[in-house]
Structure 1
Amino acid sequence: MTLKKTQSAVDDLEGLDAETIVYDSNQRAEEGGGADCCDERETERLILEFHYSIPEEMEPGAVIGNMARDLGIDVSELTRRRARVVAEGTQKFCELRWETGCLLASEKMDREELCAQSPSCVLQFQLLLEDPLEIYSILLHVQDINDNSPVFENGQIELELLESTAPGKRFPLERAHDPDIAPNSVQHYSISASDYFALEMNAQVDRNAYPELVLKKPLDRESRADHFLTLSGVDGGQPSRSGAASIHIHVLDANDNIPVFKQSVYTVSARENSAPGSVLIKLNVIDLDNRIYGDVSYSFSHVPDKTRGLVLIDPVTGEVRLTGVLDYEEAASHELDVQAKDGGGQSSHCKLMIHVIDENDNAPVIVIKSNSASVPEDTSPGTMVALLHVYDLDAETSGRVTCYVSDDVPFKLVSQVKNDFMLVTDGDLDREKCYHYNITVSAVDAGTPPLFSNKTVAIMVTDINDNSPVFRHSHYRVHVAENQPVGTLLVRVRADDADEGKNAKLFYSLSEDVTAYLSIDTETGEVFSAHSFDYETFTHFHFQVMARDGGSPPFVSNCTFWVFICDQNDNAPVVLYPVELKGHTADDMVPQTAPAGYLVTKVIAVDADAGHNAWLSYEIVGATQPDLFSIGLHCGEIRTVRSFVKNDDTKLTLLVSVTDNGPETLSTTATVNIAIEDGMRVIDQLSARGTDESHVLSDLTVYLIIALVVVSSFCLVLIIAVLYMGLCKYRHVYRSPANLPVFPPTYGPPGYFDTSGFNTVRKDDELNWFLTSSSWKGDFRFGSGFVDFDMQRKTLRSGAIAQDVESFQCHTNSK
């Protein structure tokens, strides 16, 4: 063991001194007891101790030492680091003044009450500095002052002496007791002047001197039967104190033998917590006298305060029994003065020493000196969260304590100062996994059987912003009907954040490119329309919603929304042919010899809506000659019902109604002027394949059945077609019916062309596929679809298929 000792300067107040001792932690084993670290490994630790010697009974407020100067730090450092003195018990005898750095007495210290007559009286405290944590031991050596006077147990000493007592006979007297220790204890005795008696000291085995009364000359009862003396005990204090007892000597007739103990000092050992009534020892004396002079009675001449009520001596047999419970922690030994007195008044004395054997009857004590109620989850490993002091009142092996915590918590115990343990973090903390720890600190001593103690330290893990918001889906699809009013709620977006408090409070925002069309409630995530949507202007668009938490720095997450606008029937059909110019409609000519079913002309109309809303129906609602012409319900072809006769008018007018298929139908009318020309050649290809209406209906039924059968496999055809379209860069592929009328592009608005096979002109930015009842004409066509290159880069398979599926869904929803 290496020992280094240095003397530091302290205040010269009250003659106090302080010394700092630094010693190796291996000294613990030599000192006995203490607490070991939980991991049994021998580690080198330095303990810094400050020793101060102070007199007992110091007034509160008296200066013990200057801690700031002894530590070598500035006084302001004590305040900043919240320095404080921590005691083990409930009494706090000293306190630290931050303003001056002085260690002051806060209570009077009675050395006799604290340490009885122990040669050394040391009080131990800890000086605790935080930020960073430092612990120092403070040892106060309480010095005895002469504050107690010698006291005789019996203020009146009665002696009975035979007149036949020979001069030189010695009679032991009661010793005075002084709670102080040497040199303030009793140092010498004196008696009042007497012609017959003198006082001498007799040294005992334990180095304590007993006063003895020595007879100087023979007694004569007849001349003087009683003698009165004063015995005084004087201590060695400055100034000295004294105590006195009266001695009354009765001169009796001859009793020339006194009781004699076999030993001057008896020693006995007893285990603490022994059962009351147990016999510790039986004392015996020898008195050669007979009868009354030989009858001896036993008694305690002096019983210390700590021993009162614990033992009792039988006055006849001399047996010493326990009447209370011995406690090693209160007193490790008991010293008793025993007196044996015969019937003639003569007595002798001996000392009885009772040594208490320690038992493991005290569990370890865990005291929380400092505790952090909460720690942030980003706390680095090794950060102290609590300071614990562990001790055991038992001695030697039973007082050695091992301290540990369970392995399932990210904390461990570290000891740098004897009996003090720091609870530090031993891993990363995650509030989202565990926000509260009840850490059980266990202490076990080395006794047999061992005793355990537990202490629970509660630690709350506070949140930091370490989690980004998470949307419940990465992509969303929203359908909204066109022409909805501004402020219509489209969707409510929700994101979650695993953090708490302000770190989990989310604020939503939209990408800047859609702020003209949409608005969002930053707190609720509700997205509203800021613009009335028109399906005919654009059919879909996408935007991003950003969620930002309230942490510092904040975390941001995004999700993508696809908005598909559902068509409403808000556009009436528009007639493209026949064209009416300045209120006049051109005539369509038909040969006089045209057979029944001859194609005269074709009414072409378009509806800006889509899907079912754009399916048009044609009907003749007025005619100058009603039974001459018919019109195809869906194709708008006007054919002859019969051959012309001479009585038929050569100038005919038809009023055709064009109606769409919306929930609330919209319609328009077209006027067709037909002129019958004689001599005009009949074109065979314009003749009907059959005039029987049942033939048309039969074809319609057949193709409806075919559509139902083929629809399950048509998706595969579409995929192949779309791939082909991609290779062809969206070129138009179609098969045109032969010999149908061709209309100039000026007859229709730009961007429209016929893909239906029955003269329903569609916008070229819309791609729809379908079969109709007139598909027997052989029309099966693709139109160029709307190309969203941004969308192509996303996860949708193709703009065309998605467009068609969404149109179908919107139509289904509207139904």
Structure 2
Amino acid sequence: MSTAHRLLKACLIMDQRKNLKGWIHVLLFIPLFGVSFGEVRYSLPEEMQRGSVIGNIARDLGLKVTDLDARRARVVAEGTRQLCELDTASGNLLISQRIDREELCAQASVCILQYQLLLEDPLQAYSLVLDITDINDNSPVFAAGEIKLDLVESTVLGRRFPLESAHDPDLGTNSVREYKLSPNEHFALEMSTQMNGNGYPELVLKKPLDREAQAEHVLKINGIDGGRPVRSGTASIFIRVLDANDNVPVFSQRVYKVSVPENSPIGTLIATLNATDLDEGVYGEIAYSFSHLSDKMGGVFEINPLSGEVRVAGSIDYEEASTHELDVQAKDGGGQASHCKLVIDVIDVNDNKPVIEIKSASANVAEDSKPGTMVALINVYDLDTGSSGRVTCTIPEDVPFKLVSEVKNYFMLVTDGILDREFQSEYNITVTATDAGSPSLSGLNVLKIVVTDINDNPPTFTQKEYDANILENQPVGTFVIKLKAEDTDDASNAKILYQISRDTNSEASSFLTINAETGELFTSRLFDYEQSVHFQIKVTARDGGDPPLSSTCTINVFIKDQNDNAPVVLYPVQTTGFIAEDMVPVEAPRGYLVTKVVAVDADSGHNAWLSYRILRATRPNLFMVGLHTGEIRTVRAFMEDDEPKHTVLVLVTDNGHETLSATVTVSIAVGDGLPVLNELFEFAEESPDSENITLYLIIALAAVSSLFILLISGVFYFKLCRRSYVYRSTTANLPVFPGTYCPPSFTDLSRCGTLLKDERYDSFLTTGSWRGDFRFVSNTDTDTLKKRSAAYQSTLRRTSTDRNTLKVRAGAPHPCYVMQ
């Protein structure tokens, strides 16, 4: 401050002849600033034109001008008066409204305006202090343009009559410095001083008055300030000379000093003034009045003209004025008057609640903010003084925030813990300001703080693994399954896109496509159960954050079988123009095993269960076929009139919803001299003598037991099949198919005892007696059903001598045929 004053003084000495505008511009470009907690101080004169530059904030604070717009910089005032504004394009602080020091600070010796420069993203606050200096923009003014005095002609010389002082709102040299009285013979003007140091003029009688010589005197008094240029105010003094009234009213005290609490009710007695006059009659009657009282004070106090009681007439507010000094006049009936001073000290009471103002435009904080991050700037003030004006500010303890104060009356709300938007997305924090008055008063303000989201949570699938089932041969675009992933983040951080993971096998990923937005999976090609029973893909859910986060789930796709494969007859082998013949002894009894139709189905489950029945035969009642075994047996013994050769057409059907079938022609030749094998005989002659009730009971019990054992064995068998274990009992002396009759797509597993590694097909052969099974001579190369047509074409026609290859073999294990 001292540097600026010295510069100003030097400028005034050099340019005394220049007008006021010249040194105003000098003051304008002398910013006084000192950085203390980000504080900048400027000194400027009042009454500057709107748009005038106070200073460049960006330069003085070391900020980049481009940051002002980017960080939404603005200037806010304490209270409601915004007298300046920030030009973000240049960084200049500009005058936005008329600044009148007398209006803002009245008679205060120092006029300070406090502002805050706020920047966001991140939130920062700088203190701006404007020191408003006074200019001589007001002339001295007398409250009454005419001063009337009644003086008796016997007034003694040297008698002093206090006059109303002129009022000049300016300060220092710009206020009233001297008074001048118009030239006259009887009166002179002298200055006197009040208790507070303020001077006021007094009219002093220098020459005796003579009513008969001059009954009235008219004088002029000028109040002159010390500004440049000089301003002055004038009042007229009308003096009426009265006949002798020897005594004037005399106050008991020259100065009365009292105190009254603010907000005292109207009518409260403040003081009782007392003046006495030794005269009698009209000259001894005293009337009290305020000699000069402003309109504002006239509405606050009133005096009883007869009793001298001063009472409250309006609202007394300590915050507006802490002290009132009133001039009281006691005037008798003869016009003689005396004056005293009434000094009223207003006692402050705690009648103002603390005020809480949120200075930040928005209170948003990112959930990954570190502890100590500034969230909002709070200005707290109390218009009361003393302990009533000391304010403490608190917030609830159960929030991850705290208040930090580095500048008086300003509190920074900073983070004091870890924030998690997914746990709590916003806080309504009640800021409580409490003063130290008795009783104390509190102010409340609710600050809403929104926790902004960051991408800290990856998408999460509702299941880590999904199972999907789909029938084979479904058209492309068939819906398979819908995946669902959830992300607890917000907005774009929670927008999820789905894609088939790159970790998925390329062949498997070609089977399915996915809707990136909905997570729905669709087929992109036809499925073939016989080619693939199960495959696995991985799907990645990726959010829209930066950087994005993702998670992966696994989808197990199981292909269900459809009945899309017809049964294939393995034996008897039939090629174009040739049908193999099976030989049967002419002595074969009823139930003798002639041959067996062996067929398989590439489907699985119920679709592969095969049934056999005879469509047509040379002799309808000579042969029968097992429904599930395919074994062809004799129904009766051969007769002489039976043909030597028979043809049987067998229909093989599967158990699918829409059945598929195949037919095979079996050629049977009846030969002489062939031995009858007991192992191929199914029915025994039953003796009528054995048919009794005991035998029936035993058979029934054995049948029930057998069924139970068969059920247990079947369950155990299927469990073993699922685990790729197959056990066959040894069957000796069964017919053996020559290797040339076995298609290359089938394999003899009699020596391995297990299914092939590829378990894509659940093969079902005959379910009859093991004695009725056939086996091939040797193993053949495995192949898929897709090559079976080639296998059939590669099968050579056999001559009639090949038919004799059917023979009894002993000790060989029963085979298990599986399609590759």
User: Would the TM-score normalized by the shorter structure come out above 0.5?
Assistant: yes
> Would the aligned equivalents of 1:737 and 1:778 in 2 still touch at CA under 8 Å?
no
Deviation at 1:273, TM superposition (A): 1.0
1:306 and 1:331 in contact (8 A); partners too: no
Amino acid aligned to 2:257: T
1:492-543 Cα distance to aligned partner (Å, 9 max, x none)? 2222222333333333233333233222233332322232222222322222
**1:14 aligns to 2:22 (yes or no):** no
Contact preservation (8 Å) 1:192, 1:231: yes
1:431 aligns with 2:417: no
- Tell me the residue number matched to 2:157: 167
Amino acid corresponding to residue 185 of structure 1 in structure 2: S
Conservation of the 8 A alpha-carbon contact between 1:381 and 1:425: yes
SS in 1 for 2:493: helix
Q: What is the CA deviation profile of residues 643-688 of structure 1, one whole-angstrom value per residue up to 9, with x for unaligned ones?
A: 3333333323322222222222222222222223333322122211
1:154 equivalenced with 2:154 (yes/no) = no
Query: Which is further off, 706-715 or 416-425?
Result: 706-715
Offset of 1:281 from its aligned partner?
0.6
Partner of 2:389: 399
Question: In the alignment, which of 526, 544, 547 is matched to residue 550 of structure 1?
Answer: 544
2:103 counterpart of 1:113: yes
2:309 aligned with 1:319, yes or no?
yes
Instruction: After superposing the two structures, state which structure 1 stretch, 175-184 or 439-448, moved more.
Output: 175-184
Check whether the contact 1:751–1:764 (CA below 8 A) recurs between aligned residues: no
Residue in structure 1 matched with residue 583 of structure 2 by the alignment: 589
Q: Distance in 2 between matches of 1:7 and 1:54?
A: 10
Counterpart CA distance in 1 for 2:714 and 2:676 is: 40
Equivalent residue for 2:514?
Answer: 520
Give the corresponding residue for 1:629. Answer: 623
Asked if residue 93 in structure 1 is aligned to residue 59 in structure 2, the reply is no
Which residue pairs with 1:60 in the alignment? 50
1:559 CA drift (Å):
1.9
- C-alpha displacement at 1:146, in angstroms? 3.0
**2:640 corresponds to which residue?**
646
- Report Cα offsets for 1:156-204 as digits up to 9, x if no partner: 3332233333333333333333333343333333333333333333444
Change (3 A) 1:622 1:423: same
Structure 1 residue 220 corresponds to structure 2 residue 176: no
Secondary structure in 2 matching 1:514: helix
Secondary structure, aligned partner of 2:607: helix
Matches within 5 A, 1:371-770: 371-372=361-362, 374-510=364-500, 511=504, 512-690=506-684, 733-752=727-746, 765=759, 768=762
2:350 is aligned to: 360
Moved more, 608-617 or 516-525: 516-525
The one-character-per-residue Cα deviations of 1:744-776 (angstroms, maximum 9, x if unpaired) are 3443334546899xxxx9997357599987368
Q: Which amino acid aligns with 1:628?
A: L
Assess, with a 3 A threshold, how the Cα gap between structure 1 residues 321 and 739 changes in structure 2: closer, same or farther.
same
Rate the CA distance shift 1:237–1:269 in 2: closer, same or farther, 3 A. Answer: same
- Residues 33 and 42 in structure 2, CA contact (< 8 A), matched pair in contact too: no
The two structures have a TM-score, normalised by structure 2, of 0.81
Residues 740 and 332 of structure 1: is their aligned pair in 2 closer, same or farther, counting only changes over 3 Å?
same
CA RMSD of aligned residues (A): 3.8
Larger mean CA deviation between 115-124 and 91-100 belongs to: 91-100
Residue number in structure 1 paired with 2:232: 242
In structure 1, what is the Cα distance between the partners aligned to 2:33 and 2:219?
54
**Correspondent of 2:176 among 178, 183, 186:** 186
Secondary structure of the structure 2 residue equivalent to 1:742: strand
- 1:225 and 1:190, CA in 2 relative to 1: closer, same or farther beyond 3 A? same
How far does residue 297 in structure 1 lie from its aligned partner after superposition? 0.5
- Residues 629 and 766 in structure 2, CA contact (< 8 A), matched pair in contact too: no
Q: Output the CA distance in 2 between the equivalents of 1:509 and 1:72.
A: 50
Structure 1 residues 303 and 531: alpha-carbon distance in aligned structure 2, compared to 1, 3 A threshold: same
Distance in structure 2 (CA, Å) of the matches to 1:271 and 1:137: 35
Q: Secondary structure at the match of 2:222?
A: strand
* CA shift for structure 1 position 245: 2.8
After superposition, the Cα gap between the structure-2 partners of 1:584 and 1:435, relative to the gap in structure 1 and judged at 3 Å, is same
For residue 251 of structure 1, what is the amino acid of its counterpart?
V
Q: Which amino acid aligns with 2:663?
A: T
Report if the CA contact (8 A) 1:686-1:739 is conserved. no
Specify the alignment match of 1:282 in structure 2: 272
TM-score of the superposition, structure 1-length normalised?
Answer: 0.82
Whole-Å Cα distance in 2 between the matches of residues 720 and 164 of structure 1? 147
Change (3 A) 1:72 1:617: closer
User: Which one-letter code corresponds to 1:493 in the other structure?
Assistant: L
Structure 2, gaps ≥5 residues long: 12-24, 776-781, 783-820
Letter of the 2:138 counterpart = N
In the alignment, which residue of structure 1 is the partner of 2:185? 195
Query: Which residue does the alignment assign to 1:137?
Result: 127
* CA-to-aligned-CA distance 1:557-607 (integer Å, 9 cap, x gap): 222222222222222222222223442333322223222222222222222
Mean Cα deviation higher: 135-144 or 108-117: 135-144
How far residue 303 of structure 1 moved from its aligned partner, in angstroms, is 1.6
Query: Given that residues 604 and 763 in structure 2 are in contact (C-alpha distance below 8 angstroms), is that contact kept between their aligned partners in structure 1?
Result: no
Distance in 1 between residues matched to 2:75 and 2:256, nearest whole Å:
45
Contact 2:163 2:203 in 1 (8 A): yes
Please give the alpha-carbon distance, in whole angstroms, between the structure 1 residues aligned to 2:739 and 2:277.
155
User: Partners of 2:642 and 2:710 in 1: how far apart?
Assistant: 47
Alpha-carbon distance in 1 for matches of 2:532, 2:59 = 83
The answer to whether the 8 Å contact 1:483/1:532 transfers is yes
Percent identity between matched residues is 56
Is the Cα–Cα contact under 8 Å of residues 438 and 456 in structure 1 kept in the other structure?
Answer: yes
CA contact (8 A) 2:586 2:672 kept: yes
* Partner AA of 2:371 in structure 1: P
Deviation at residue 79 of structure 1 after TM alignment:
6.5
Instruction: Return the match for 1:232 from 222, 233, 241.
Output: 222
Aligned-residue offset at 1:360: 1.5
Q: How many residues align?
A: 745
What stretches of structure 1 of length at least 5 have no aligned partner?
23-45, 787-815
Matched ranges for 1:331-342 at <5 A: 331-342=321-332
Secondary structure of the structure 2 residue equivalent to 1:302:
coil
**Which moves more between the two structures, 744-753 or 544-553?**
744-753
Would the aligned equivalents of 1:753 and 1:763 in 2 still touch at CA under 8 Å?
A: no
The alpha-carbon deviation at position 299 of structure 1 amounts to 0.5
Q: CA deviation at 1:353?
A: 1.3
Q: What one-letter code is carried by the residue in structure 1 that aligns with 2:322? A: A
The one-character-per-residue Cα deviations of 1:91-142 (angstroms, maximum 9, x if unpaired) are 3333445566554443333222222223332222334456666544343333
1:351 Cα shift? 1.2
- For residues 230-267 of structure 1, the C-alpha deviation after alignment (integer angstroms, 9 at most, x for no partner) is 33333333343333333333332221111111222211
Task: Report the CA distance shift for 1:210/1:410 in structure 2 as closer, same or farther (over 3 A).
Answer: closer
Partner Cα separation in structure 2 for residue 277 and residue 534 of structure 1: 106
Aligned letter for 1:457? L
**Is 1:442–1:453's contact at 8 Å kept on the other side of the alignment?**
yes
Structure 1 residues 203 and 518, CA gap change in structure 2 (3 angstroms) = closer
Matched, 1:291 2:303: no
Deviation at 1:336, TM superposition (A): 1.0
